[in-house]
Every structure is written in structure tokens, then in C-alpha cells.
Structure 1
Amino acid sequence: MFVGYARVSTQDQDTALQLDALAAAGCQKVYQEKASGASRRGRQELARCLASLGPDDVLVVYKIDRIARSLFDLLGILRHLERVGATIKSVTEPLDTTNSMGVFVVQILGAVAQLERSMIRERSIAGQVAARARGRHPGRARAMSPEDEADLVRDYLAGGFTYDSLSAKYGVSPSVAKRAVYRVTKPAAYQRRAKV
């Protein structure tokens, strides 16, 4: 049986292109999700898809980078497919893991995809560093003024307030309240998270 898997990284993106291609490839069942490839927790449909595969099943993807976030991840998926007797096929790339040359091609494509993602990340970080050097701070503007943030943190440190109650009092989301508190109470941890 041909089993398809489609993934986009964010809720704003659309899987329609991938779904059309998987249908044209003859997939009888398709798993799809909107989740970052960097998070195993975010790829629950991939786990269900892999668990459903058995002997002679073919896992069909639009592109190899839709299923694996790194070469290590790809090799783990290939080992799983080999254990259950399934193979993998890409709609847009010449992949066929029923032979050793096909496995080699998959590994090369996985390495190239990993290199491309690393280069994109490096460029993104370099752009953020350059923007900070020019006095710009990438990302959204803060939801609260510095004065309101200081008042919120004072309320939190005085006790008796949860993030939910602070968010209601100041008209912001609980995550905004939590970030404001973390910037004061855990500055080193907050800086590390902000740089990722």
C-alpha cells in the first residue's frame, strides 16, 4: 500500500501542494500535520504514519526534508522502514530504497538538506547579529511599556499573583507576563532562549 506523509512547519502554511502530489502518486492513506521538523513532540502524525507501515508498504513523501530534520533522523527512519519491510519514495526526487544505490542517494539528499538548513540558520543568525549591531532588535515589539512591565514584575514578586491573574490585570497574555518576570528573575536563561 502507498502511504503518504505531508508536513508544513507552521499553521500559516498549506499542505495542498503536497497532498495533490501524494494523491497523484496513488497514496491510499495520507498523514498530514503542521509542525516544526525540529521537534519530535510536534511530529505526532509522523509517528502514527511510521507505526502504521508494514511489509511491502511504500512511504511516499513530497520531498525528503518533509520527513527528516537531519541526516541522523533520516537514517533512523530508514532503519525503521527496513525493520518493518517498507520502503520510501519521494515524489520530487529520484528515490527508491529497494536497492543499495537508492539508499545511498537518500543519504546524500539527507546530508544536502541538512547542510541547506544549517546554512539558512547561520544566515539568519548573522542577520540578527548585524541588526543588533545597528541598534535594531529583531522580532515583535514588546506588548507592554517598560513601566508596565516593572509594575507587573513588582506585583509578581510581592506574591499573591499567578501569571493568569497578572495577564488579566495588565491586559496581556500569560506568556507575555511570564517573559516579563523571566527577564528580571532569570536573565541568563532568558537571554539563552532569546538567542535560539
Structure 2
Amino acid sequence: MALIGYARVSTRDQNPESQTDVLSSAGCEKLFVDRASGTLAKRPALTEALGYLRAGDTLVVTKLDRLGRSVKNLKKISDQLQERGIGLKALSQGIDTTTPGGRLFFHMLAAIAEFEHDLIVERTQDGLAAARARGRKGGRRPKMTENRIKQARAMYETGDHTVQEIADTFGVGRATIYRHLEDKGLKTTQI
């Protein structure tokens, strides 16, 4: 029944000492430290810590965001720990899944966070649908307007400019110029 600590800092420049000091003072026998963004799938120290833990042990973190990349990921890790008989403690949030109240609190937080995420997705989709109904499209505006396409075609037809020169004039790639020339049915020889 050991307390095993896990700390993570997002960049190599950040110092994990504030986390490791808290974990040590909480009684953690062994510490694992990652220096990686939480969004990265590869966190070797976490993988090592999860492999080290045995039934009856408790994984201790300073805050839940140090452990999971997302609510879904955090819930998955928590479920895996629970299946193996391993507890989870988040010191700053007062969560301890080795107690019934701690498990309840953890699942309530996870449910609220998931609900909030679903609301954000729903509002985003509603906003996009409303914008489409008003005739707005997503994405950036095309660089080649109808007027610029006509100018590019005229430059090409005179034969005085290469496709690269035309592309440079309008600040686009050659593929964009070729696409607009071929839309008009002009025969192009790629240069």
C-alpha cells in the first residue's frame, strides 16, 4: 500500500520541484516526472508509473490536470486504476478515490466537465448553422477573386510572364494559378 507520485511540467524550461516537493511531503515513496505537454500521447514517466503501481497502491498527483490530457483521458486512466485496485489522489482538489466520497466527487467532476464540453460543442454547431443560414461560409477568404483570376489569365495569355511570376504577383502558389487557368480551359504547360 504505497503512495506513488506523478508530476508533469509542460516544457523542458519549467521546473517540477514545486510538484515533487508537495508529493514528497504527502508521503510518496517513489516519484515519476514527465517533461511533456499534456496533449502529447507519449508520456514515458506516466507509462512507467502505471506499470509500477500494484493493487492497494495509490497514485498521487498535485492536480488532476497534471495526469490527464482531457476529461475523457482522465476518466479512462481513473477507470483503469480502479479496475486494478489502485487509488487516485489529487492533493489540491481533495480527491481521494480510495474512499466512497472521493469516488463520488471525482465522478461528479468528470460528469460536469463532460457536460460542459458537450454544451460547448452544441453551441459551436448552433453558431455555425446560424451563420450558414445567413449565407456565411467558414474558412478564410480566397486570395484569387474573379477580378484577379481574369488578370492572371490575361497575363498568361500574353506569354510575357511565367506561371511562377504570375503566382508571385498575386501571392499564391503555382498550383493555384494552374487550377484557375485550367478552369477556363486554357492549355498550360507546367514550368
2:36 aligns with: 35
Alignment of 1:13-28 (within 5 A): 13-28=14-29
Show the counterpart of 1:61. Answer: 61
When you count helix as a share of all residues, which structure comes out higher? 1
Question: How many residue pairs align between the two structures?
Answer: 125
Q: 2:67 and 2:17 mapped to 1: Cα distance? A: 16
Matches of 1:79 and 1:24, distance apart in 2: 27
Q: TM-score, normalised by structure 2?
A: 0.56
Instruction: Say if 1:12 and 1:102 are closer, same or farther in 2 by CA, change over 3 A.
Output: same
Q: Is the 8 A contact 1:63 1:92 kept in 2?
A: yes
In structure 2, give the amino acid aligned to 1:71: V
C-alpha separation in 2, matches of 1:105 and 1:18 = 23
Structure 2 distance, partners of 1:29, 1:56, is: 15
Deviations 1:7-61 (A, max 9, x none): 01111211111010000001110000110111112x1111111111111101110
Query: Could you list the per-position Cα deviations for residues 130-161 of structure 1 after superposition, in whole angstroms to 9, with x for gaps in the alignment?
Result: xxxxxxxxxxxxxxxxxxxxxxxx9xxxxxxx
How far did residue 109 of structure 1 move? 3.7
Identical amino acids, percent of aligned pairs: 36
Q: Secondary structure at the match of 1:4?
A: strand
With over 3 angstroms needed to count, the CA separation of the structure-2 counterparts of 1:66 and 1:186, relative to structure 1, is farther
Per the alignment, in what secondary structure is the counterpart of residue 105 of structure 1?
helix
Q: Which structure would you say has the larger Rg?
A: 2
The residue aligned with 1:7 is: 8
TM-score w.r.t. structure 1 length? 0.55
Alignment partners' CA distance in 2, 1:102 and 1:25: 17
SS at match of 2:95: coil
Gaps of 5+ in 1: 120-153, 155-182, 188-196
Pairwise CA RMSD: 3.1
